[in-house]
Chain A
Amino acid sequence: MIVGIDLGTTNSLIGAMDAGFPVLFADEEGNRLTPSVVCFPNEGDPVVGRSAADGDDAIRSIKRQMGQGSPAQANRPSPEEVSAVILKKLKSDAERALGQVVERAVITVPAYFNEAQRAATKRAGELAGFVVERLLAEPTAAALAYGLDRMEEKSRVAVYDFGGGTFDVSILELSEGLFDVLSTQGDTRLGGDDLDAALAAELGISRAEAAAGKKDPAAAGISSSSIRKACRPIIERTKALCLRALHDAGLTPADINEVILVGGVTRMPEVREFVQEVFGREPNLSQHPDEAVALGAVIQAGILDGSVQNVTLLDVTPLSLGIETFGGLMNVLIPRNTTIPCKAGEMFTNAAANQGAMKITVLQGEREMSADNWKLGEFSIPFTPAPRGQIRVGVQFELDANGLLHVLARDVATGKDMKVEIRSAVEVSDEAVEKMLADSLEHAFEDMDDRQFTEAGLKADEMLPAVEVALERLGSGVATEEREAIAGLVRKVNEARESRSLRRLKAALAELDTATEPLAARLVEGVMDGKI
């Protein structure tokens, strides 16, 4: 028996296959949804879920910190430890429901989680006493839940998964029980939490009030226009990701047969309308926004323990994997959207005579410069002493079905495998983290004003010519009063700059920004209409 778990930012669920159907378990109070909230009282065991939610020092949305290593304060529990407490609670709920001990689990992760975030999730599972049989991408899980009773069909679906803390979009091809993930895109720092924060800022209320108001605007006395104004810019950030996923799959919106919505945020009418705009079709609401991912985890558990037959899942790695090469560039070995498990090989040779070892840095991400990507870790290839170019070591990078990295090195001449230990880039000691924090704070105070003045100066350098161009292009379309007002603000910026007052310069630039907003809008419209 393997259980399936959705370890969510806001809520978590657990279930298992029962007589061929995926079933989710309720806790002692009869709730299937456990809030992902943990409270560590001074004495006694940690408290999880609804009863923890009232505590002042309750830890929420810990998922957003997964893979970031130890917390800055040494006495605080790590993200893995907090997640493990949630998982333990789910484990005992399942054991009570099943009347037996459960040890094996499938745990879902955001599709766009990188290797470090996945590894941290696996560790959390192990800390909770599970053998983690699989880490499963959340939108893929939702697709399994959607497709299980549509096994005869052939179709292309997009899963739009907007949860409490993360956003993912995946494009899949479903073909008679086979689920082929064509592409996936996401943002692990974009979710309902951000909508709450935006709404709270817009209305000057607390985040908790915003979260409640978002669910039931009428009861909270919040107008739908203010929800739209606050939330729309954040919801719009998902558009580029949807288009990119389609682009990567080589498809257009017209090629998609269904757009499946999951995640609590997709209950918002604003989100549903937006999805309809992007994909040009009404979204499919057949899946329970909070439960689909957990049901999919249960189905994957069933595939692994044999209780679900004739279902195959071909998932992909969301991010390209590569190594750092000369000049700080990233050399891609496994491109994003490659079906996992997969592996890629690379040959290394000693660049100097008797070189003792070679350091390899493993990266994940899509940027050209290695510094702009995630650094997964480092390892070193040992060379036996030999003339330059005589040693050849083949290194194999393997991504397993969980998206986790394994590295194997083999000396080509001797055929001997070498043990490679990857030092994770995120596991920095507590003291090191504290020192890093202290250093950056110190510097921050030292040069904050200077840096800000330079930054504001650069903005002025850019704004002033842009104002001239805009006024010239719009010509008589700008009223004389508007023109004079803008000229006055340009003078104000120049004066503030000469006075070297950061406060005045920032204020003048902000005024100019506001005053030229209508010009910018008219320019953009003109370009769209092809008039200018």
Chain B
Amino acid sequence: MGIPRRPLVDDAAVKEAYYRLAAAWHPDAERGETEKFRQLQVAYQTLKEPGSRLRHLAELEFGPAENSSRPSEQMDLFLVVGAVVQEAKAFQSRRDGARSFLAKAVLGEAGREIRQRVRGVQTQVETALDGLRADLNAIDQRWPEVSPAELQTLTSGWRYLSRWQSELAATEFALMVGA
């Protein structure tokens, strides 16, 4: 795709390269190549999300990742995320199981409270991700003077946080719109 092998990439350039190659290799194109098109999908999915991109970079530079442990501050956040998601799921199944409009209405207040709590945890995760964004910028500035441990810590931190971020977004959405 012609994207420089670095921690930070230009998202617009990644998308542009993807669209250019997708148009060339799509099976419907005159000289389309299905296998290349599929490989392109994998490459694009890897590059567009920082967590998978960093893991790929770490593997290319330093070989397969060892199982790195989570930093303790993330462990604490994980417990907070897990608890609020569980709570939201329990509330939702109660609400979705309600048989009358009145019972649903009675649950409305609890729903508002739990949504606020979910939003609060979302902000915490956002703040933690902002911290990692600063680390990512710093590592990119020093690139390639970066240790395997540094890159791996950033990678695993990012992967956890972004997973929680999407889990919380899905939870918040389900509370708002319903299952």
Q: Which A residues form the contact surface with B (CB < 8 A)?
A: 175-178, 180, 240, 243-244, 247, 303-304, 306, 310, 312-314, 338-339, 341-343, 401, 458-459, 462-463, 466-467, 469-470, 473, 513, 516-517, 519-521, 523-524, 526-527, 530, 532
Contact = CB atoms under 8 A, between A and B. Distances in A.
A343 B105 contact: no
A217 B43 CA distance: 54
Given A338-B41, A520-B102, A526-B109, 15 more contacts: A244-B173, A310-B23, A314-B22, A341-B38, A462-B98, A463-B100, A466-B105, A469-B106, A470-B102, A513-B101, A516-B100, A517-B102, A523-B108, A527-B109, A530-B112
A401 B29 CA distance: 13
Nearest to B26: A312
Contact of B169 (A243, A247, A469, A526): A247
A313 B177 contact: no
B37 A517 contact: no
Interface in B96-131: 98-106, 108-109, 111-112
10 contacts: A177-B23, A243-B177, A304-B28, A458-B99, A466-B100, A467-B102, A519-B105, A521-B105, A523-B105, A527-B111
Interface string B57-88: 00000000000000000000000000000000
A312 B29 contact: yes
B38 to A, nearest CB: 6
Contacts of A176: 19
A310 B108 CA distance: 52
A314 to B, nearest CB: 6
Nearest to B97: A462
B101 A520 contact: yes
A241 to B, nearest CB: 9
Given A175-B19, A339-B41, A519-B105, A513 B177 contact: no
Q: Which 6 A-B pairs have the closest CB atoms?
A: A520-B105, A527-B108, A523-B105, A312-B23, A466-B103, A459-B99
B106 A342 contact: no
A306 to B, nearest CB: 7
A302 to B, nearest CB: 11
Classify chain B's interface size: 20 to 34
B117 to A, nearest CB: 15
A459 B23 CA distance: 56
**B23, B29, B106: which has the most chain A beta carbons within 10 Å?**
B106
B46 to A, nearest CB: 14
Nearest to B42: A342
B175 to A, nearest CB: 12
A530 B105 CA distance: 14
B34 interface: yes
B177 A466 contact: no
Given A244-B177, A314-B22, A532-B109, A343 B38 contact: yes
A210 B22 CA distance: 47
Most buried by A among B27, B28, B30, B98: B28
B100 A178 contact: no
A341 to B, nearest CB: 6
A469 B107 CA distance: 10
A513 B108 contact: no
B144 interface: no
B23 A178 contact: yes
A519 B102 contact: yes
A304 B32 CA distance: 11
